[in-house]
């Protein structure tokens, strides 16, 4: 798929209008996983606006975002960074195609250190 098309799809799936962002950084100010991220929540919004999808798809942040949606909750402009992260993550998973984890196999993978939120978000993601 062409790069621009991916950007378009991610924008569409995230339902977020990145142009509404006024670059206040409140999302990153609130993010509990901030320190584990290479690309920060507010950067996700500006990267997608600038079309830099490749960097986002390779970002480790995709897997450190807890999907707690604090950034969405706090944004004064109604922008949803977590949705962008989610949409990029979904795109990565789709491109990987076959290596999807089936929802049924998840219980066997659970260990006590996995945060509850991650489990919930996995179910949300994988049950589609």
- Contact residues for other proteins, defined by CB under 8 A: 20, 22-31, 34-35, 40, 42, 70, 74-78
Tell me how far apart the alpha carbons of residues 5 and 97 are, in angstroms, rounded to a whole number. Answer: 18
CB 43 within 8 A of CB 109: no
Nearest distance, CB of residue 29 and other proteins, angstroms: 3
Nearest distance, CB of residue 24 and other proteins, angstroms: 4
Of 33 and 126, nearer to other proteins (C-beta) is: 33
Q: Could you tell me the two tokens for 92?
A: 């990565």
Of 22 and 120, nearer to other proteins (C-beta) is: 22
Q: What are the DSSP E strand ranges found in the chain?
A: none
Nearest distance, CB of residue 12 and other proteins, angstroms: 20
Tell me how far apart the alpha carbons of residues 113 and 82 are, in angstroms, rounded to a whole number. Answer: 22
């Amino acid at each position: 798929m062409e790069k621009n098309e991916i950007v378009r799809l991610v924008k569409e799936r995230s339902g977020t209008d990145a142009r509404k962002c006024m670059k206040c950084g409140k999302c990153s100010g609130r993010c509990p996983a901030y320190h584990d991220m290479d690309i920060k929540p507010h950067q996700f919004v500006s990267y997608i606006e600038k079309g830099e999808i490749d960097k986002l798809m390779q970002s480790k942040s995709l897997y450190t975002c807890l999907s707690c949606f604090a950034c969405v909750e706090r944004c004064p402009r109604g922008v949803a960074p977590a949705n962008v992260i989610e949409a990029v993550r979904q795109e990565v998973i789709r491109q990987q195609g076959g290596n999807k984890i089936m929802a049924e196999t998840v219980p066997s993978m659970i260990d006590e250190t996995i945060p509850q939120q991650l489990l919930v978000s996995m179910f949300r993601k994988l049950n589609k």
